[in-house]
């Protein structure tokens, strides 16, 4: 199940909210313009190639790209990305709206909205939409194993959020969140 953890941006040790309730996650993220939904899985083989992954979710991807304008669609494999340790991860924002659908594996997307940091531990079936100019970073752990469909949409008219970037290393990373969760639940599968 998806896990949402929220901290004040100046107090990474003070958990304000920790929930696996899909309704609560959806409402909390929506307050900050971030979209969250669940899609059924297509039952693809773990080693499915990009063409097969996109074909398996074609109708849903087409629904995301139905609006007029340029859309970029690709499949991103965390296990082919160089491992990045938290001190090297940087908070950033993009000039485009971006959807990430988790086909397999898991990773944490951190959204810095207002004075809060929302860590969304995404798992297969999760669809996360990060609006343009929203400060964020992500962490797939020491051995990233997630596969996502990434859809980039035309830039929105909103301006970039001002503020000093946070130090992602100050917040619990993927491995710490998974380990903490494992004390109360079975460990996540990758």
- pLDDT, tens digit, 9 for 90 and up, residues 38-77: 999 999 998 899 999 999 999 999 998 887 677 899 999 8
DSSP class of residue 79 equals: G
Quick check: 88 pLDDT over 80? no
Structure tokens at 118: 């929302």
pLDDT tens-digit readout, 105-123: 999 999 999 899 999 999 9
Check whether 167 has a pLDDT greater than 70: yes
pTM (two decimals)? 0.86
Residues whose CB falls within 8 Å of the CB of residue 129, separated by 6 or more in sequence, listed in order: 34, 35, 36, 97, 98, 99, 100
Q: Please, which residues bridge with residue 130 across strands?
A: 98
> Mean pLDDT over all residues of the chain?
86
Please state, for a pLDDT cut of 70, what percent of the chain lies above it.
84
At the topology level, CATH places domain 3-182 in Jelly Rolls (2.60.120)
Burial class (CB in 10 A: 0-12, 13-18, 19+), 89: middle
DSSP 50: H
């Amino acid at each position: 199940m998806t896990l949402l953890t929220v901290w004040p941006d100046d107090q990474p040790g003070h958990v304000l909210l920790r929930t696996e309730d899909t309704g609560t996650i959806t409402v909390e993220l929506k307050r900050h313009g971030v979209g969250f939904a669940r899609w059924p899985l297509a039952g693809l083989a773990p080693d499915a190639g990009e063409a097969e992954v996109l074909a398996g979710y074609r109708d849903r991807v087409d629904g995301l790209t139905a609006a007029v304008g340029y859309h970029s669609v690709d499949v991103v494999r965390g296990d082919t990305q160089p491992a990045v340790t938290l001190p090297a991860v940087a908070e950033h924002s993009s000039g485009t709206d971006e959807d990430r659908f988790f086909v397999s594996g898991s990773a944490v997307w951190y959204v810095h909205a207002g004075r809060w940091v929302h860590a969304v531990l995404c798992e297969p079936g999760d669809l996360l939409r990060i609006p343009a100019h929203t400060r964020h970073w992500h962490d797939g752990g020491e051995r990233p194993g997630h596969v996502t469909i990434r859809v980039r949409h035309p830039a929105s008219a909103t301006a970039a959020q001002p503020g000093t970037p946070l130090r992602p290393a100050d917040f619990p990373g993927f491995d710490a969140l998974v380990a903490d969760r494992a004390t109360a639940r079975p460990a996540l599968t990758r």
